[in-house]
Structure 1
Amino acid sequence: MKFNGEVYVIGGVHEDLWFDTVESYNLVRNQWVTRPPLNRKRGSLAGISLNEKIYAIGGGDGVECFSEVEMFDLDVGRWIPSRTKMLDKRFAAAVAEINGMVYVVGGYDGKDYLKSVEGFDPREYSFSRRESMSTRRGCLSLAVLNEKFIS
């Protein structure tokens, strides 16, 4: 994801090793910078930048799928756990923003792939159910074109 002109890499997994690390890459300086770590190790999370903040959403650690959201505020300089969780646990979900709302789509809850969609309002710090997709999906991509989702 891009934030403040840099590309961020958040968490992840390699073989059986899960990461809480966060790094950013500055294209102009051709330089990687280590950033404050997440509050827990996790991979296959969804990430999005909005309103000068980065949100790390869901993911898992190979044993458990998560519904937590963390927010990175550059002014604070650390990841802050959100006061609210998603309605569903989501591993390998997709995320996109339309008109200031963050939408989390699909993923895997530890038992099944999901077709559900949740909307997150960062002003209210609350999730709400939205119209579901017609098909269950995980490891998907999501884009916005003319204020509509394309997956």
Structure 2
Amino acid sequence: MSNDLPLTPEDVEEIASILAKSSYDVLDIETSRFRLRVKRSGEGFTQEWSPIGGEETKTVASAVEPEVEAEKDGLLVIKPPLPGTFYRAPQPGAPPYVEVGDKVTPDTVVAIIETMKLMNPVHAGVAGEIVEIVPDNAQAIEAHTVLMKVKPA
């Protein structure tokens, strides 16, 4: 089974809209093909889904697995595979996930990309030290935009 969410972007946007208009914080949907959980998170939503079928069910979290590429200067760049709005912190007024000079591991959350009102955490995908944060907070970005540069550990 594909790791892509078996819903269209419009379906997910409609689900987020329904949840935004309700007093609920979590919405669980289960069909014969998948289970989807949409959860209120600050100003937006996070999603988690898993395919259903066969004996083995694999959970796919909404965290964004970044592309990590090496540059000529030896630094690694972190790029998200999806477009949206780049946020450095989990909510307005909260401290940023990372600052220049911070050490990260592959599992460190470094940012959030909001796409269709869903908040998608971005992990570093690499171990090292953050040397540059490229976009401004709350800046709209395209897929594959360089978010951060990392000096490998």
Give TM-score, length-normalised by structure 1: 0.35
**Greater strand content:** 1
Structure of greater Rg: 2
